[in-house]
Structure 1
Amino acid sequence: MEDILKKITTQTTLDLKARKDKTSISDLKAMPFYDRKTVSFHTSLKNSSGIIAEHKRQSPSKGSFNCPASLQDVVKGYESAGASAISCLTDQPFFGGTLKDLLDARKSVNIPILRKDFMIDLYQIHEARAYGADAILLIAACLNNEELKTMSLEAMNIGLEILFEVHDLEELNRVKEVTASFNASKYVIGVNNRDLKRFKTDIQNSKNLLPHFPKDVLAISESGISDPDIVKELKKLGFEGFLIGENFMKTDLPGTSCGQFIKAIQS
């Protein structure tokens, strides 16, 4: 089966060149949101529901979710439902997202926003800052250790926090090495239950990796979560954050679905 992750990062490189040619980093730094005071992703996850509710129009494995709600209605609904943070997809070719989505989300809510994309270049970190993100995603499968460190330091230097995403123990060990000297309140580590090469999901992946997490680092479980009882189980094991998109976006009213889900995990 084709390696979807490789296909996505190849396309990301092409799209990035076009954006760099059009907009310089100086242009990004001149945008209104670049200097705004960011909202702590880590603190919000720690102090509320732990749900990172995602705005996602489509996926390579499921196609379009055909959600009729506008982005503004979706993210406002998530905030009203009690989500700790919003994940906003900005990859266009594979997930139907845009940087404008990030900008529109920022204008609509006050909770932290994660820019969810395939980050492979320092330029994208400055884009995230300029378009209103509070945190960025760094996928260990896309980056070597030097790249992970360089990009995370750049992000933290401009006030962004980081969600490091891992899929297996080798990637988790690499992230542990890279973050050994970092302030644990400036990043979190997420286990993606979806194999990004074949897009199959298995919650057991989170359970297997949690015992190997560094002490005092907030643990996130991502993908394939559709049952509140799974969240309750993962919470008991020690997970404090849960990234959920498809389960809400496949409904007509994602905010309402999110609210019902949060009430169920708190009952």
Structure 2
Amino acid sequence: MAERAMSTLGYVLIIDDEEPLRHSLTRVLKTAGCEVLGAADGLQALQFVRNTRFDLVYLDIHLPGISGLDVLQTIRAEYPDLPVILFTGHASLQSALDAIRLGATDYLVKPIDPDVLVARTRVILEEQKIERRKRELREELASLRAELRALAFQSASAFPEIPPEPQRDDRFLKRGDFVLDLQARRATLRDRVLSLPPTAFAYLMVLARHAPEAVDYQTLVTEAQGYAVEQSGASELAKYHIHILRQAINVPKNVPGYILNVRGIGYRLLVS
């Protein structure tokens, strides 16, 4: 499998059948320091993914031949850790919901704002870099522990077993009925594990950290997704991810919801 050059920010695949847009976005990301490859359809894209180690994929929902959702489903099955962000030509909530259920990381609405594209790319690639380093450190630690156990077994004066690392007090964030495991990126509500995509978890975490205060749209997007957008764009992004959160929480209709709209401002998490 081909590797990226070590000097680049990351290796990005852009899958879109609109050649001018594909070339334009490629130039934008190359200028930002990424190595970029473009694919015009789903079949070509899957061939690239299977032969090259990418850090991030941008995928148009509407592709000729194999649909974008089918490509997403295949990538998710074969490469579950590879983040995929969707392009859509319209703010179709149902298409976005279908994609999130299939494992998409996020979505961007065309026309693509170059600044937003670069900002989102940098955030995702930095997260990937951190996760890779964490995996490396866990593997190194496991190897060291195994070596120490082997030495202790061989030694007449056996070395004491290294105790497991204690859980840090700041690993869990508790707000009302919610408990967020910030290390495992898992949320529970009254002992029920919520099935949340990564971005929806990030929105819940921001709401929980600010609770019981309201969080405005722009703060929500900036803290949850790592980039700033205008008020109108922030409102639409927040509305979509809050919808995902509310679906996951899934309280009965006759029970007050946990996430309240604060008209004209943003959202607030009920914690009492």
Task: Name the TM tier (shorter chain).
Answer: 0.3 to 0.5
Alignment TM-score, normalising by the size of structure 2: 0.32
Greater gyration radius: 2
Alignment TM-score, normalising by the size of structure 1: 0.33
